[in-house]
Amino acid sequence: MKRIGMLTSGGDCQALNAAMRGVAKCLFNSGENVEMYGFLEGYRGLIYGNFRMLTGRDFSGVLTKGGTILGSSRTPFKTIKDPDENGLDKVEAMKQNYYKLRLDCLVILGGNGTHKTANLLRSEGLNVVTLPKTIDNDLWGTDMTFGFQSAVNIATDAIDCIHTTAASHGRVFIVEVMGHKVGYLTLNAGIAGGADIILIPEIPYDIKKVIDKIEERNRNGSMFTILAVAEGAISKEDAKLSKKEYKEKMKNYKFPSVSYEIAQQIQEKSGHEVRVTVPGHTQRGGSPCPYDRVFASRLGSEAGKMILNGEYGFMVGYKNREIVKVPLEEVAGKLKMVAPDARIVKEAKLLGICFGD
Ligand code: F6P
């Protein structure tokens, strides 16, 4: 008999349901007697004992469904050890709910913050297996996260659509891409969408270099320019500031996001007409792409196998084209970022893409 709890935490993404279905199918098909409980709205469900029993029927038809059938929430790790507004010890409450249901294992699907809490629960003695989700692909210990490829498709579509209108009007267009503090999504969507300039947090930009590239294109007869700008892109001057100085500066920041600041600078310094498009949360929505369906199903079934073998304390990751077990303590608290000298960056530069550096 195996009793499993499952939850999805943090920002949602495509293929969460596909991954859970992978776990469930593997376990329900194993011949082992399995009981599965889904905690609702992430760690909140585990803290407050809000759960429902899951059967095979819950996973029928969800392979292609975006979002998460369990709901999700952000439960910041920073405050996880603080009591809630009624004085409840949240960590203790999660442990108690785990023990009350006599769980053998918790399956936790999430990104960076989620993994810190998952690792904390592991260190508190709970059996935990995690699955790497996020459109940002910024999770340490895995080359790929599910949700990422689907988001690349959506961001690429956005750039494709902008291309035709930018060309018709001879305008400069900025497409702002999600990714939090890392540039994987922008880099991949930017290359796939044929962006002329890609700005990512890992490579601080010089606005003069950006404008030079636009002018160079104009001289060569291309009257429009497409910039793929990561929401976390940062200028060379700002990158030099200490954390404290940057925080102070941002208090009086008057732009909705960095793309609008860049747009104003280009407009003022070069006279070019600039438009900004922000696809925003559309990048996290809709059906998972086929890659993510396959990838999440594989990770899910491997997680199921690990549970059947009693192997706990791992994230199921993907390294060098192999599915691997990564100890949770190695994953928690680390960010995977684009190396400024990565092959993909060098190759993009060979294509003539400007990074503003
Ligand atoms: O981590 C996924 C992500 O979509 C980031 O790319 C983005 O910065 C953030 O979540 C947005 O968070 P929220 O959905 O809470 O606005």
Q: What is the distance in A from the centroid of ligand 1 to the CA of 228?
A: 17
Q: Which of 180, 278, 335 to probe ligand 1 with, by most ligand atoms within 8 A of CB?
A: 180
φ, ψ of residue 81 to 5 degrees: the values are -90, -5
The pLDDT of residue 303 is 98
Give the residue whose CA is nearest to atom 10 of ligand 1.
11
Q: What is the pLDDT of residue 316?
A: 98
Quick one: pLDDT at residue 349? 98
Distance of alpha carbon 317 from the chain centroid: 14
User: 97 CB less than 6 Å from ligand 1?
Assistant: no
Q: Are 169 and 147 in contact (CB under 8 A)?
A: no
User: Could you read off the pLDDT of 107-151 as tens digits, one per residue?
Assistant: 999 999 999 999 999 999 999 999 999 999 999 999 999 999 999
Ligand 1 centre distance from Cα of residue 11 (Å) = 6
Least confident of 33-42, 63-72, 162-171: 162-171
Catalytic residues: 136
Q: How far is the CA of 183 from the centre of ligand 1 (A)?
A: 13
Residue having the nearest C-alpha atom to atom 7 of ligand 1: 180
pTM of the model: 0.97
The residue whose CB lies within 8 Å of the most ligand 1 atoms, and thus the one to mutate among 146, 284, 336, is 284
Which pLDDT tens digit goes with each residue over 149-164? Answer: 999 999 999 999 999 9
Cα 207 to averaged position of ligand 1 atoms, centre (Å): 26
Does the beta carbon of 178 sit less than 6 angstroms from any atom of ligand 1?
yes
Ligand 1 centroid – CA 299 distance (Å): 23
The C-alpha angle with vertex 69 and arms to 66 and 75, in degrees rounded to 5, equals: 95
CB 107 within 8 A of CB 292: no
Q: pLDDT by residue (tens digit) across 89-98?
A: 999 999 999 9
* Distance set, CA 153 to CA 265, 288, 289, 299, 332 (Å): 29, 10, 8, 21, 28
Ligand 1 neighbourhood includes 44 CB (under 6 angstroms): no
Percent of the chain with pLDDT over 90: 100
User: Which pLDDT value is given to residue 194?
Assistant: 98
Identity of the amino acid at 160: D
Ligand 1 contacts CB of residue 232 (under 6 A): no
Q: Which is nearest to 356 in space by CA: 209, 184, 225?
A: 209
Res 231: pLDDT: 98
* Predicted confidence band of residue 79 (pLDDT cuts 50, 70, 90): very high
Nearest ligand 1 atom, CA 284: 4
